[in-house]
Amino acid sequence: MKREARKIIETLGQPYRGSFFRNVALQFQESPLDAIGSYEIGGRYNKKGGFQILYAAADLDTALLETGAMLRAPDGSLISVKKKPFVTITIEVDLQNVADLTDPTVRDRLGLREDDLYVVWRDIVAKGEVPVTHRLGNIAHAAGIEALVTPSEKNRGKTNIGIIDTGTGANLLIGSTVKIHDPQGFNAGVSTTITGKKRR
């Protein structure tokens, strides 16, 4: 099954360009593109201690909801949450091999429903099982997919991106870039661009 899914996902990679938003706690302002937190804690598409995924959202509301700076009230309104200082950065993504899971035809090829991507993954992991989103992340990683474009669980109808293995850059192809739009204000020496190193 895993091999089959990998073969399928290998065929689903497409070039992808776009802008995404990411909230970075001020204490991590020296490494705004670092995704070590996702490695240490795990995320929706990567297990704890597996590989890094740099998560970002396609719009600011979603970024705020995904990072807990805003909550959605039962009536649908947004509530602001007191947070430690943070900065919001815009990330320009120019990648060559991205699987877009917001596309129903892509999900169909993988035998997934949109709801499958909204699993309460922490609960599944706590039971000692592997959530479908982690299986998907592992397969995409192994297949050399650079990023997954995904529907947001926190802000339905909106989009996130998870750029795979940004720590080592192992999955980013030569010619692919992830860079902070207008990095003015960051200290000299802070890495504001990730460039791919992998040959196709």
Partner 1 sequence: MQSVPIVLCWTYIVLPREDLGMPLTLERGALDAEVINEAGRIDLQVLARVLDLSVPELAAIVHASPRTVNKNPDAKSLQPAAQKLVRFMNDLTTALGERRFAIYWLNTPQRELKDETPLAWMRKGRLDEVADYVGAFIRMQPD
- Sites of contact with partner 1 (CB under 8 A): 23-25, 28, 37-38, 40-44, 48-49, 55-57, 63, 66-69, 82-84, 86, 120, 122-123, 125-126, 153-154, 160
Given the complex with partner 1, which of 18 and 198 has the nearer CB atom? Answer: 18
From residue 196, give the alpha-carbon distance in Å to each of 131, 132, 146. 29, 27, 9
Given the complex with partner 1, which of 88 and 195 has the nearer CB atom? Answer: 88
Given the complex with partner 1, which of 112 and 125 has the nearer CB atom? Answer: 125
Listed as own residue / partner, the contacts of 110-114 with beta carbons closer than 8 Å and 24 or more positions apart are 110/5, 110/8, 110/9, 110/12, 110/136, 111/5, 112/136, 114/151
Name the 3-class secondary structure at 133.
helix
Given the complex with partner 1, which of 42 and 196 has the nearer CB atom? Answer: 42
What's the min distance (Å) between Cβ of 62 and partner 1? 9
- In 3D, which of 122, 23, 19, 21 has the Cα closest to residue 69? 23
What's the min distance (Å) between Cβ of 49 and partner 1? 7
